[in-house]
Amino acid sequence: MRQLRIGDVTIDAVIERCGPWRRPQDCFSAYDEAIFRRHLPTMEPEIFDPATGLMVITYQTFVVRTPHHTILVDTCTGEDKGYPAPLDFPKQRWLGEFKAAGLTFDAIDYVFCTHLHIDHCGWNTVLRNGQWVPTFPRAKYVFHKKEYAAWEEATKQGANPPGDVWRFNCEPIVAAGQALLVDDDYTLDDTVWLSPTPGHSPCHCCVNIKSGGQRAVVTGDLMHHALQCREPDWSTIFDWDAKEAAVSRRRFLNEIADTGTFVMPIHFPNPTTGLVEADGNRFTWKFVR
């Protein structure tokens, strides 16, 4: 994605993987082929690969640089986690892009996780001498406290892979004293703050960024695909609470449609950043090019 600049803030992407990935019929329980075919010509060409019938999906981290802080939002799957295919992506691309963005692990002040799923908190930790330790030694990590507690509880119940995800990527951050366990009205400063969008996970949040009279929102997994702007009620099979996810999605889309807010979903492919327009009770996704 092209760097987004709003006011004094820049936002860049560090990509772990991208390309054709999943069939829509495998992701949406409400999937209807006729409806999908009707919407397809109204959507941006980058989001679907007609040759394979697969949706194009990216896994990435956003780097937010404000005048005061260097912030990462969501940290992909990470390295050495031992996750099974297809989530065992090669690590070199993420590390290479991180470095190419002029960053070092020491340079990160804050890590925000929109939620604590496997592909959003992986680089939180690295394996050193057999121990999971924070990757970013100076950073504070912002986790929603009830999201953290929900995955702690799931881990106690033996749920796996959430068990490993929490144990590998989240608990070591708290143990190291680097976690800020916050509520969903958390505000870092007048540039960066959270807003609640639960449903995909127990306490999923968006990360809002404002500068120079402009606003951008990292929307995590509030939407996985632009099809969900055409059909906001189509939740994915990955959602914790499909109904609540749909309510959060529609509320968000209603709020930001036609406002010029830059929307940055983690899984949308290049050029990733988009604007949302209202279209009756649906929405249209337009990439910023």
- The set of residues, in sequence order, having a beta carbon less than 8 Å from that of 87 and lying 6+ positions away, is 77, 118, 119
Contact between 221 and Zn ion per CB under 5 A: yes
Q: How far is the CB of 104 from Zn ion (least distance, A)?
A: 26
Q: How far is the CB of 219 from Zn ion (least distance, A)?
A: 11
DSSP letter, residue 84: P
Part in contact with Zn ion (CB under 5 A); list of ranges 7-15, 99-107, 187-195, 221-229: 221-229
> How many of the chain's residues bind Zn ion (CB under 5 A)?
2
Q: How far is the CB of 165 from Zn ion (least distance, A)?
A: 12
N-terminal to C-terminal alpha carbon distance within the chain: 9
Part in contact with Zn ion (CB under 5 A); list of ranges 43-51, 97-105, 152-160, 217-225: 217-225
The nearer residue to Zn ion, 16 or 221, going by C-beta atoms, is 221
Letter for the amino acid at 71? I
- The owner of tokens 């956003």 is 62
- The owner of tokens 């009830």 is 146
The nearer residue to Zn ion, 4 or 165, going by C-beta atoms, is 165
3-state helix, strand, coil in the chain (%, to 5): 25, 30, 45
Q: How far is the CB of 89 from Zn ion (least distance, A)?
A: 13
Closest CA to 57 of 86, 83, 95: 86
Closest CA to 266 of 121, 101, 50: 121
Q: How far is the CB of 32 from Zn ion (least distance, A)?
A: 24
Contact between 74 and Zn ion per CB under 5 A: no
- Contact 235/224 with Cβ under 8 angstroms? no
The nearer residue to Zn ion, 119 or 239, going by C-beta atoms, is 119
Q: How far is the CB of 200 from Zn ion (least distance, A)?
A: 8
Mask for 107-146, x = binds Zn ion (CB under 5 A): ------------x---------------------------
70 vs 36, 65, 170, CA distance in Å?
40, 5, 20
Three-state DSSP state, 162: helix
The nearer residue to Zn ion, 65 or 204, going by C-beta atoms, is 204
Part in contact with Zn ion (CB under 5 A); list of ranges 8-16, 47-55, 135-143, 215-223: 215-223
The nearer residue to Zn ion, 221 or 239, going by C-beta atoms, is 221
DSSP letter, residue 268: P
User: Residue numbers of the site for Zn ion (CB under 5 A)?
Assistant: 119, 221
